[in-house]
Amino acid sequence: MIFHDRLLIFPGSLLIFPELVMIFHECLLIIQPISLQNSILGPSKRPKFKDGTVHSKLPENVLTSWKIRKRVLDVITQGAALLMEFAYGQAVERLPPYTSERSDTERSLRNLRAGAAGEQKVIEAVRSVALPEHTELVQNVTLSLLGGVRFQMDLALLSKSGILLIECKQIGGRLKFHTGPAELRKVDEDGRILSVYDCPVAQLSDQQENLLQWLRIAGFRTPVYGAVVFANNPIIEEIGEGMPVFKLRETRNLVRRHVERKPVVHENEVNRIAAAMIESSIPYLPFPLQIAEPSQFVTNPICSICNNVLSKRSERKWECAKCNRIEHKPYLLTLLAWFLLIRNTISSAEIMQLFGLKTHKAARSIAERLPLEKIGSRKSSAYKADYEALAGSSMVLDAIQTWLKQDRAAKDQYGTRKDHQLAAKDQ
Query: Pairing between strand 162-169 and 224-230?
Result: parallel
Amino acid at 308: N
Q: Are 298 and 94 in contact (CB under 8 A)?
A: yes
Torsion of CA 214, 220, 221, 223, to 10 degrees: -50
pTM: 0.80
In eight-state DSSP terms, residue 313 is: E
- What is the separation, in whole angstroms, between the first and last Cα of the chain? 42
Q: What is the pLDDT of residue 61?
A: 52
Q: How many CB atoms lie within 10 A of CB 208?
A: 19
Q: What is the pLDDT of residue 23?
A: 46
Q: What is the pLDDT of residue 146?
A: 86
Q: What is the pLDDT of residue 27?
A: 43
Q: Are 386 and 1 in contact (CB under 8 A)?
A: yes
In eight-state DSSP terms, residue 148 is: G
Q: What is the pLDDT of residue 416?
A: 57
Please list the ranges in the chain whose pLDDT falls under 50. Answer: 1-58, 60, 414, 419-427
Q: What is the pLDDT of residue 90?
A: 97
Query: Pairing between strand 136-144 and 317-319?
Result: unpaired
Helix (H) or strand (E) holding 218: helix 200-218
- Residue 336, CA distances (Å) to 1, 74, 300, 400 in order: 18, 21, 12, 9
Q: What is the pLDDT of residues 281-310, one digit of tens each?
A: 988 999 999 999 999 999 999 998 888 999
Give CA–CA dist 178/197, Å, rounded: 10
Angle at 285 (CA atoms; ends 107, 213), nearest 5 degrees: 100
